[in-house]
């Protein structure tokens, strides 16, 4: 069976550097056997992939790609406090989608993150989830994702 890093490579992805916080918090904190990530924005190469509201300037497809990047950034945050991604189980994902009031496709956008976790972690990537529409997110990001992960022994 392949490792999460090998699965990422098969997808043409690498775990990025941890995204520096935009305020006074840590990207991830380990408490016992759990890791809690801060909300991860769709930062790639130091900049947001998109800005604005989904359904009004940002398409659902763009937002789904943003959610995938948020998940990749969450993996980086988790890896910053865990030695081996093979020991990680994704327990819960929270997806926040800055939405035009008429947009109701938040679950589909959140699938960008959920699908990546499934591809990378296999059965250990299946999780509980919330997908919530919000009026605005930090830096005018269209998507933010946070994660609770368990470290398996």
Q: Are strands 28-31 and 88-98 parallel, antiparallel or unpaired?
A: unpaired
Q: Is the model's pTM score more than 0.85?
A: yes
Nearest to 95 by CA among 63, 120, 122, 121: 63
CB distance 43 to 74 below 8 Å = no
| Residue range of the domain that includes 116 | 4-151
| CATH, residue 75 | 3.30.1330.40
Burial code (b: 16+ CB inside 10 Å, e: under 16) for 60-90 equals bebbbbbbbbbbbbbbbbbbbbbeebeebbb
pLDDT in tens, the chain (153 residues): 799 999 999 999 999 999 999 899 999 999 999 999 999 999 999 999 999 999 999 999 999 999 999 999 999 999 999 989 999 999 999 999 999 999 999 999 999 999 999 999 999 999 999 999 999 999 999 999 999 999 997
How many structural domains does the chain have? 1
The single residue listed with the structure tokens 């993996």 is 75
């Amino acid at each position: 069976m392949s490792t999460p890093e090998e699965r990422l490579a098969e997808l043409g992805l690498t775990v990025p550097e941890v995204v520096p916080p935009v305020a006074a918090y840590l990207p991830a904190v380990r408490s016992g056997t759990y890791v809690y990530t801060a909300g991860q924005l769709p930062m790639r190469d130091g900049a947001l992939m998109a800005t604005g509201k989904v359904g009004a300037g940002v398409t659902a497809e763009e937002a789904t790609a943003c959610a995938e990047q948020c998940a990749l950034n969450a993996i980086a945050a988790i890896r910053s406090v865990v030695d081996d991604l093979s020991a990680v189980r994704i327990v819960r994902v929270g997806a926040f989608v800055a939405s035009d009031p008429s947009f109701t496709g938040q679950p589909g956008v959140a699938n960008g993150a959920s699908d990546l976790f499934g591809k990378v972690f296999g059965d250990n990537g299946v999780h509980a989830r919330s997908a919530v529409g919000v009026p605005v997110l930090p830096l005018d990001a269209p998507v933010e994702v946070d994660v609770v992960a368990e470290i398996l022994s």
